[in-house]
Amino acid sequence: MKLLVTGGAGYVGSNVVWALHDRGDEVVVYDNLRQGHREVLPGSVRLVEADLADAAALDAVLAEGGWDGVLHFAALSLVGESMQRPFFYLQENAGLGFALIDACVRHGVKRFILSSTAALFGNPDTTPITEETRIDPGSPYGESKLMIERALHWADRIHGLRYACLRYFNAAGADAEGRSGEDHRPETHLIPLVIDAALGLRPEIVVFGSDYPTPDGTCIRDYVHVSDLAQAHLAALGRLDEGSVTYNLGSGTGHSVLEVIRSVERVSGVRVPMRIVERRPGDPAILVASSARIRAETGWAPRYTELDEIVSTAINWRRAHPNGYGNEG
């Protein structure tokens, strides 16, 4: 297949690019490199360094024709920042998402994969989260993804653009062959933060709250290996000939903050310095996502089922890349 991947130099996007590359697809990455890294891409993959706001650049790429699909990862993704700059997030994520969908329709693209988020569900009443769980975004970030999902609904209904909305959070780990890993600036994800504390790359890990209604008092989250997420995107892409789909992606098993810290200690053999402080406002006690639908409809299932396995790949990558990709910003 010939596929365009927006945000393909980012964390999840680059792992999907490698998965597509490994199976022999022709991949073009469209990325402004504000959050992505040129170094993570396979040498044979063409990079178009441009912003989605550059309508002329986007049109020029899509006008090449022959596209079998577009996979859309390019987005701002910091929930806290979205609460401080709500309209910026809505414009950057939803507004540019609309422009991309419109361009796909105009250029005859028939398949679209959206990197969506479980942030659509806010503070859910039940767990695990299924596709039928009530949608109530708790942030402008989550709202922006919901707006793109709705736009895709109309693009399919009116123009026949088949889409897959893949809702996930807490992508974790690194490529087992060391080809890509997690290098955010700033880093906000728990596992790499704990690893950096273990490796002496930061002084300590801060735990926000130890009085939640969970077995050890700390928040529980669902961690899915990034390579498994990549395979889920390929599985969803293959499902689109039968119609548009929406899937939640999770392991169905949650791990607390303290369990993550203990896992890093077991795998690294190093005690992790930590400090417990007050809760952060708005943090739900438990967020675990079900992936029963995509498993049933595509046969996809995570290969990395143990937390220590996920952590091990992340530690191996970080030890080999203590400065990440070596960029300054």
What is the secondary structure of 8-34 as a DSSP string? Answer: TTSHHHHHHHHHHHHTT-EEEEEE--S
Q: Residue 249 in 3-state DSSP?
A: strand
**Total residues belonging to the chain:** 329
Give the pLDDT score at 80: 85
Give the pLDDT score at 186: 86
Burial status of residue 186 (CB atoms within 10 A of its CB: 0-12, 13-18, 19 or more) = exposed
What is the secondary structure of 31-71 as a DSSP string? Answer: E--SS--GGGS-TTSEEEE--TT-HHHHHHHHTT----EEE
Interval 178-228: pLDDT, tens: 999 999 888 889 999 999 999 999 999 999 999 999 999 999 999 999 999
Average pLDDT taken over every residue of the chain: 95
Give the pLDDT score at 209: 96
Q: Which of 11, 30, 141, 163 is catalytic?
A: 141
CB atoms within 10 A of CB 245: 19
Give the pLDDT score at 252: 87
Beta bridge pairs of residue 207: 276
The yes-or-no answer on residue 141 being catalytic is yes
* Residue 280 binned pLDDT confidence (cut-offs 50, 70, 90): confident
* Residue 100 binned pLDDT confidence (cut-offs 50, 70, 90): very high
Give the pLDDT score at 122: 87
> In this structure, are residues 233 and 113 in contact, taking their beta carbons and an 8 Å threshold?
yes
> In this structure, are residues 148 and 142 in contact, taking their beta carbons and an 8 Å threshold?
no
Mean pLDDT of 248-253: 92
Q: Which two tokens stand for residue 23?
A: 């199976």
End-to-end CA distance of the chain: 34
Mean pLDDT of 143-167: 98
> In this structure, are residues 229 and 12 in contact, taking their beta carbons and an 8 Å threshold?
yes
Running DSSP on this structure, what letter comes out for residue 90?
I
* Residue 79 binned pLDDT confidence (cut-offs 50, 70, 90): confident
| Residue 328 reports pLDDT greater than 60 | no
Give the pLDDT score at 311: 98
| Residue 61 reports pLDDT greater than 90 | yes
CB atoms within 10 A of CB 124: 21
| Measured CA distances, 286 to 123, 139, 328 (Å) | 9, 17, 35
